[in-house]
Amino acid sequence: MATTSSGFSTDFKEQVRSRTNLVELIGESIALTARGSSDFVGLCPFHDDTNPSFHVYPDRQSYRCWVCEEGGDCFSFVMKHDRVGFREALEMLADRAGLEMPRTIGRTSPEQKDRKSRLYEYVSWAETLCHEFLLNDRAAAAAREYLQSRGYGPEIWRAFRLGYHPQDWQWLLEKSRLKKFPAEELKAAGLITQKQDGGGWRDEMLFFGRVLFPIRDLRERPVGFGGRILPKDDDGKFGKYINSSDSEVFAKSSLLYAFDMAREAIKDENTVAVMEGYTDCISAHQYGVRNVVASLGTALNENHVRNLKRFAQKVVLVFDGDKAGQQATERAITKFLAEDVDLRILTLPGGLDPADFVSQHGGEALKDRIANAAEAWEYKLNSCVERIGVSSVDAKQRVLAEMATALAQSPRLSGSARESLIVARLAGLLMIDERTIRETLNTTRSQGGNQRPTRISHSQTQPKPLRVDWNNPDDVIECELLEMIFAVPSIVFRLQQEIGPEAVANLALRQLLQLCYDLAEQGDEPSFSLVSTALEDPELKRLAIRIDDHARQKRIDRLLQEAKPFITNNGKRTTHADYVIDQLKLRYERQNQEPLKGRLTGLVAGESPDSPVEAARPVDRSEQLRLLEKVQKYHARRANS
């Protein structure tokens, strides 16, 4: 049973794939129309498609867009559509198919997985209880009045699954006893806690008499809550807002509020706006600005940045215009500058928070400000100048030092046109020579930028995408080799004896061929479906889809099964399989002719060798004859091809 780079067996991945109806999976995201018995079409979700070009093939469980060339299987679709890695896509599809993930090194045991599944269920249960209480119970009247005073009616309550917990320390606990939920597991889910005197259990503090804002993870499961105390009950003893404490299912350092609501809009806009408060975020959505999320009362960190980068290239921080909001923005800038992301800063006028701004000016005004937000470096510079000034030499030096420290933490800026613009702007504002600014910046970088290690941007470390040139005869003949395997997988056992992977020059095609040979060595015929399941690289999977499409269009299966001979341009009678094999062999031998001829010439003429070791070696006549025979065979094959 072969395993792949994710650590999971091909057998398990095939089981997940076979249990996934691709038409149903994709149909949950886009409208598909049947076209015949083996083809469904729809508008491609991966480019601006106006004429249906996205095809789903249920017989081989694959899809392909004939315009943007996106293609793959169920794993590829989830990875691309939901912006997740292969492992997470596999887990999501396994859950969807009702399959338990096998245990791998470093993974949780089945017992631990069952326990964690129960914890998610408990949080979901609590969310439903509190939501229904807000909607229906007389004891939640004050909570409903508060929400309506903020402009949030029942439609918003339902959309965001808002809830309310009564002023009863035992309310959830009593409800859980009817379900016979274990107290220890409810505690692990962050729902209850032990009393301070150790004399039993009570509901978590965040719930008591608070409006609740459910928080979901990237898989849209409720994992925690934010709680807002009602104004009439706010005596200042506890925080206005309290979030769930970290638990086995909740980690505030990597989560953002309303991401589940904003996900599609973020992908469509390739922009995400990050706000500080739950109500700010909800107000933006209410006014039609849907690519908005909120932080969970903690400073943005590298985990947040990396998660956001998966869905949008442009991140706009929309913090309150007051002093606290400005300080939060300053703290966030350095974290984003060190990442390969287009960071913008939006400061709202008059010290308004986003909820107030959108209620006064509307959603379109907020959208316009988000679209035209200043770049982070520009905001940082303006902030430094406002805070420090530029009226003295000392002030200018302090501004320059602070800007150099911030810029040094963004390696993607180094040597770029953007850096040149920033340096020029600094030079003009501070009236300092550009050379001096660059020297300061280079010195700061060499010192690690405020003692931070230099980081390599994502774009610098990623390998170039694997490509095939469909107009290149060499690539085309190599593709035909794989077309034969996908059309009639049993032919692989013959090809293994005739063509080695080293004869395939294109790296992507060589990897596909090597995979086919690996599967054959395990006793499996490398059908397209098996190869697709084994592949985890989206680029290679898209390439396999296209090769399989070509094989079907050309009816390669019929060509191989009928084995009808045809006459080549030089009059040779051959079959399709023999022709492809001969062409690849001939090309491979031709590539090796120059080194062969060089070695043969040296042996015949007794040329001076390149090294003392070769000088001491006598001329080997048997080697000379062997090389000569190779050259003669090559010319004979070339004459007959």
Q: Are residues 165 and 147 both part of a single domain? A: yes
Please tell me the predicted confidence (pLDDT) of residue 142.
96
Per-residue pLDDT at 259 exceeds 80: yes
Q: Are residues 198 and 344 both part of a single domain? A: no
Q: Are residues 67 and 146 both part of a single domain? A: no
Examine residue 1 and state whether it is found in any structural domain, yes or no. Answer: no
Please tell me the predicted confidence (pLDDT) of residue 466.
57
Structure tokens at 414: 């180094």
Examine residue 273 and state whether it is found in any structural domain, yes or no. Answer: yes
Q: Are residues 148 and 84 both part of a single domain? A: no
Q: Are residues 288 and 322 both part of a single domain? A: yes
Please tell me the predicted confidence (pLDDT) of residue 513.
93
Backbone angles phi, psi at 31, to 5 degrees: -80, 125
Q: Assess contact for 603 and 617: CB atoms under 8 A.
A: no
pLDDT bin (cut points 50, 70, 90) of residue 7 is low
Please tell me the predicted confidence (pLDDT) of residue 419.
80
Examine residue 459 and state whether it is found in any structural domain, yes or no. Answer: no
Please tell me the predicted confidence (pLDDT) of residue 334.
62
Cβ neighbour number for residue 89 with a 10 Å cutoff: 22
For the segment 41-58, the average pLDDT, to the nearest whole number, is 92
393: domain CATH number?
A: 3.40.1360.10
Examine residue 460 and state whether it is found in any structural domain, yes or no. Answer: no
Per-residue pLDDT at 618 exceeds 70: no
What share of the chain has pLDDT > 70, as a percent? 81
For the segment 340-350, the average pLDDT, to the nearest whole number, is 83
Q: Which long-range contacts (CB under 8 A, 24 or more apart) does 379-386 make?
A: 379/329, 379/333, 379/345, 379/347, 380/330, 380/333, 380/406, 381/422, 381/425, 381/426, 381/429, 383/326, 383/330, 385/429
Per-residue pLDDT at 627 exceeds 90: no
Provide the number of structural domains found in the chain. 5
Cα 361 from Cα 291, distance rounded (Å):
18
Percent composition of the chain: helix, strand, coil (DSSP 3-state, to 5): 55, 10, 35
* CA within 13 Å, CB half, 108: 11
Examine residue 468 and state whether it is found in any structural domain, yes or no. Answer: no
Rg (CA), the chain: 32
Per-residue pLDDT at 254 exceeds 90: no
Cβ neighbour number for residue 363 with a 10 Å cutoff: 16
The residue with greater pLDDT, 462 or 527, is 527
Q: Are residues 334 and 445 both part of a single domain? A: yes
Q: Are residues 54 and 148 both part of a single domain? A: no
Return the minimum-mean-pLDDT range out of 63-77, 369-383, 545-559, 600-614: 600-614
Cα 638 from Cα 641, distance rounded (Å):
5
Cβ neighbour number for residue 613 with a 10 Å cutoff: 8
Q: Are residues 574 and 606 both part of a single domain? A: no
Return the minimum-mean-pLDDT range out of 5-19, 92-106, 274-288, 617-631: 617-631
Please tell me the predicted confidence (pLDDT) of residue 611.
36
Alpha carbon distance, N-terminus to C-terminus of the chain: 41
From 188, 221, 250, the end of a domain falls on 250
Kindly report, residue by residue over 472-531, the tens digit of the pLDDT.
Answer: 889 999 999 999 999 999 999 899 888 888 888 888 898 899 899 988 877 788 999 889
Return the minimum-mean-pLDDT range out of 201-205, 300-304, 356-360, 514-518: 300-304
Per-residue pLDDT at 340 exceeds 70: no
Examine residue 4 and state whether it is found in any structural domain, yes or no. Answer: no
DSSP notation for 450-506: HHPPP---HHHHSPPPP---TT-HHHHHHHHHHHHHHHSGGGHHHHHHH--GGG--S
Cα 115 from Cα 588, distance rounded (Å):
57
For the segment 64-79, the average pLDDT, to the nearest whole number, is 91
> Containing domain of residue 244, as a range?
110-250
Please tell me the predicted confidence (pLDDT) of residue 597.
52
Nearest CA to 209 out of 140, 123, 114 is that of: 140
The residue with greater pLDDT, 257 or 100, is 257
Examine residue 616 and state whether it is found in any structural domain, yes or no. Answer: yes
The residue with greater pLDDT, 417 or 231, is 231
Pairing of strands 54-57, 163-164: unpaired
Query: What value, to the nearest 5°, has the Cα angle with vertex 502 and ends 498 and 507?
Result: 125
Q: Are residues 417 and 318 both part of a single domain? A: yes
From 226, 250, 274, the end of a domain falls on 250
DSSP notation for 513-526: HHHHHHHHHTT---
Kindly report, residue by residue over 315-337, the tens digit of the pLDDT.
Answer: 998 876 666 666 666 666 766 66
Cα 39 from Cα 53, distance rounded (Å):
12
Examine residue 104 and state whether it is found in any structural domain, yes or no. Answer: no
Kindly report, residue by residue over 154-203, the tens digit of the pLDDT.
Answer: 999 999 999 999 999 999 999 999 999 999 999 999 999 988 776 789 99
